[in-house]
A and B are shown apart, each in its own frame.
Chain A
Amino acid sequence: MASTQITDEELFSQLKFYGFSPGPVTENTRPVYLKKLKKFLEEQQQQQREQRGKGRGGSTGAPRPGRHDVRRLSSGRRPGLKSSVLGFSSDESDAETPLKRTALDYTKRTGRNQNQPPAEANRKAALKGDSFPAPDGQPAAALGRGTGNRSRPDGEELSDEEEPNSRPVNGRRSAPLSSSKLAGDYSDSEEEEVGAPGGPEPDRRSLELRRISTAGPFGPHADGRGSRGKNCSPPGSRSMAGGREEDGERMRRADLEASGGSGRHMFPRKPLYVPLDPQSRPCENNHVNSEEGPPRRSSAGTRQRFPAYRSPAPGGFSNHSPLPNHAGPKKKVSAPEDDLLLQFHREGQGPSGSFSAHYLSMFLLTAACLFFLLLGLLYIRMRGSGAPGGEGLIKSHPFGSDFDASYDEAEREVILKLLLSLHDHLAVVAGHHDCGDQRFPNRSLSREKVAEYLEAQDGAFKGFIDVSLEWIIRTNQDVGIRLSGSDDPVTDVSEISWLESTHPRMPFACRFRRAFLSVVSKVVLVVVVVGLAWSAVCYVKHRWRREEEETRQMYDMVERIIDVLRTHGEACQENRDLEPYLPIPHVRDSLLQPQDRRKMNTVWNRAVKFLSANESRIRTETQTIKGADFLVWRWIQPSLSCDKSKVWQGKAFPLDRRNSPPNSLTPCLKIRNMFDPDMEVGDSWDVAIQEAILEKCSDNDGIVHISVDKNSKEGCVYVKCLSAEHSGKAFKALHGSWFDGKLHAEVTGSLWAVLPD
């Protein structure tokens, strides 16, 4: 292309012609601007073609080569079929991430490459016509080219960009590449470009076919898209042809091809993102499953869809073509959408299943509750009817064998029946009384009433009342009847005046009610007690936390006050006009915001108290300022000379090439002026110095030995490192730093055979 021989000035002016304001065209910026210029040119061409295409009513020359392509494709792609299958095995892991990335890139490039594909497509279509006669030769060449560029990481973005550029290059394979740099950079895309004819699977082929067969205004688009390599088919074939590592790229292409195949290029790119995913899935499925037998059916299924649309498409390249083309892509889109819907339906059953699960759990819960309720009721009922019923079952009685001996059976039976009825009656009376039933104001029955009742029950009882009562008295066991009289305990029948039941039988509702009430009252009691305890604990915790918070605030305030005073003190040292003390209210007002002052009042007071009690560097005194008496704080500057810590105090001069050698010559360093041997007091100052040096060179792991020469007048410290490089690093770290008020410079290059110890 002519642009390759364009001069800098021409490039500059051409760019300006397109309304773009370029920077200087230098050797570095030249390729960028060239690309830009090409983009502008293509845009222009594409616009022209659009206009032309509209004029001709939708059929241009472009579809014709497309048709040729179809035929050539079908012949040329078969051999590559098998190989395309094999390469996909390594794709699966890469499938996901590139998908997202491709979508991202895709949307990112919407704005820029709006109208490019058609322009490219036209060229590509022509290209394809040229290149097809030798489909087999090309993949081989592509292989060679591709392996050469293996080292390029992530060239996919690049290749996307450069494809438009590479296409013309690709078409004229015989013609040498115009600029070596372009070739070097763009050959990736070229390789993909070339690999396109190499064998994809039949379904992809049909995809391509259908895509290509979409004639009319979509034709160039389809081709353009396909040629951009964003197809299921070409990437596959490419990867197979090249055995490329950039599988992700292929998957990406797959997505984009799918969307390309949908033929919606005319619409803004952004909506295409939506069909991207559903489109990708069938493509992906095809890819991923390609090596397995059964999914072949799916590919066959997709294949089925396409031939249906192939027939109408070649049929009408005139005005009718847009319609089937529209239908085609729409159907293709709807097919994957059907898949999607199917998946949703399956998932929809999930929610309904979960609904039934929800109901089931509720049902189970209520069933359990009911069961327990019934159990409780049953228990109560059982308790209620404690006495054995039945008339003929009075076999066991508590009266002992004497009873049996004294009376014969009929009498015995009568007596026992009497006693039983008496017992029941008394129980009922007592129960009703306990329940608050107004019919029985007394719990016990008088003897007369008892006699009355028993005679009313059975006439035969009459004679045996006394006998039975006597027996009751005689027995030691509890028969459920208590006899009371004027003096307790009753010993004679005549003394009995009152009979009372000890086992009252209450009506069921009453019993239940009482049980319920007792239970509830007990539970409430327990809850109340627990609640009280818990609230007490909470309160205590809250108080404690608040205390802590306040203390922390107080310390924080103290620190701030100290800082303020210290800075003020230092400012006073420099500036003799300032008073060396600060009034307390002034400090408070400067530290606290007006709205906080009332809130923080307690904190402030505590801080003040703390300072006056515990802080030795601040003295509280009363001063007269401008006629008013204030309580002031005076910062007392502590003397630093008694501070024995060896500290590094920054660098005196920046380390640059002037005052530091480029690299160290030896592994040993001598540091001067680290200390003054006369002034050092204490036992372990040399250890402190060593530690300080180690700390300064904390990232340097090559320090072997540090030796402090205690007797040297210069304050020398010798540092031996593992290698010259390490010593250089240490040098850089230490040189020119202030240490303990002394600037020490280092000398390197001294070689010691023996280190003074």
Chain B
Amino acid sequence: MSTTSQKHRDFVAEPMGDKPVTALSGIGETLGKKLEDQGFDKASVVLGQFLLLKKDTEMFTDWLKDASGANSRQAGSCAQCLKEWCDAFL
């Protein structure tokens, strides 16, 4: 995606620290709740999953769609957000 949302920019701008999973770009209330129910209560845990999948955005997108019922756009946005965060801070 060439244009990024404010949420994306906010997330990628600083270390995620203890941010909740809803701070991720593309993850709203509903999806966040679903992820939390599965144990992904913080953005860092989702980052963990992303890293487990070897930072492959495609696989991560697939996983996210499975796990939370996100659509392509939301999952892609989240993956992109995490990828950029990793590029900046990891």
A interface residue numbers (CB < 8 A to B): 21-24, 26, 28-29, 31-32, 35-36, 104-105, 108, 112, 152-158, 161, 185
Contact = CB atoms under 8 A, between A and B. Distances in A.
A467 to B, nearest CB: 103
Among A21, A23, A104, A152, residue most surrounded by chain B Cβ atoms (within 10 Å) = A23
Contact of A24 (B52, B58, B59, B66): B52
B20 interface: no
B54 A158 contact: no
A118 B49 CA distance: 33
A184 to B, nearest CB: 10
A179 to B, nearest CB: 12
Contacts of A185: 66
Contacts of B36: none
Contacts of A104: 72
B1 to A, nearest CB: 11
A36 B59 contact: yes
A35 B52 contact: no
B30 interface: yes
B62 interface: yes
Contacts of A32: 53, 59, 62-63, 66
B56 to A, nearest CB: 8
23 contacts: A22-B54, A23-B51, A23-B52, A28-B49, A28-B63, A29-B63, A31-B63, A31-B66, A32-B53, A32-B59, A32-B63, A32-B66, A104-B72, A105-B72, A108-B72, A112-B58, A154-B70, A155-B69, A157-B65, A157-B71, A157-B72, A158-B66, A161-B65
Contacts of A156: 71
Instruction: Please classify the interface of chain B as helix (H, G, I), strand (E, B), loop, or mixed, using the class held by over half of its residues.
Output: helix
A465 to B, nearest CB: 100
Contact of B52 (A21, A28, A108, A158): A28
Interface in B26-76: 30, 49, 51-54, 58-59, 62-63, 65-67, 69-72
Interface of B: 30, 49, 51-54, 58-59, 62-63, 65-67, 69-72
A32 to B, nearest CB: 5
A26 B69 contact: no
B52 A153 contact: no
Instruction: Please classify the interface of chain A as helix (H, G, I), strand (E, B), loop, or mixed, using the class held by over half of its residues.
Output: helix
A94 B62 CA distance: 25
A23 B53 contact: yes
A23 B54 CA distance: 6
A209 B30 CA distance: 42
A161 B62 CA distance: 9
Contacts of B54: 21-23
Given A29-B49, A29-B63, 6 more contacts: A32-B62, A157-B72, A158-B65, A158-B66, A158-B69, A161-B65
A21 B55 CA distance: 12
Contacts of A28: 49, 52, 63, 67
A153 B59 contact: no
Contacts of B52: 23-24, 26, 28-29
A108 B70 CA distance: 16
Contacts of B67: 28
A23 B72 CA distance: 22
A689 to B, nearest CB: 31
A623 to B, nearest CB: 44
A32 B71 CA distance: 16
A322 B78 CA distance: 44
A234 B52 CA distance: 38
A469 to B, nearest CB: 98
A-B residue pairs, 9 tightest by C-beta: A154-B71, A23-B54, A32-B63, A157-B72, A23-B52, A157-B71, A23-B53, A152-B69, A32-B62
A547 B65 CA distance: 60
A249 to B, nearest CB: 11
Contacts of B65: 157-158, 161
B46 to A, nearest CB: 10
A105 B49 CA distance: 24
A105 B58 CA distance: 13
A438 to B, nearest CB: 82
A24 B59 CA distance: 13
A105 B72 CA distance: 8
Contacts of A105: 72
Nearest to A35: B62
A22 B54 CA distance: 7
Contacts of A23: 51-54
B88 to A, nearest CB: 21
Nearest to A104: B72
Contacts of A108: 72
Among B49, B53, B72, residue most surrounded by chain A Cβ atoms (within 10 Å) = B72
A154 B65 CA distance: 10
A15 to B, nearest CB: 11
A9 to B, nearest CB: 16
A28 to B, nearest CB: 6
A153 B30 contact: yes
A751 B84 CA distance: 49
Contacts of B69: 152-155, 158
A26 B67 CA distance: 14
A21 B71 CA distance: 26
B16 to A, nearest CB: 16
A158 B53 CA distance: 19
A357 B9 CA distance: 51
Nearest to A32: B63
Contacts of B63: 28-29, 31-32
Contacts of B58: 112
A18 to B, nearest CB: 14
A73 B69 CA distance: 33
A660 to B, nearest CB: 14
Contacts of A36: 59
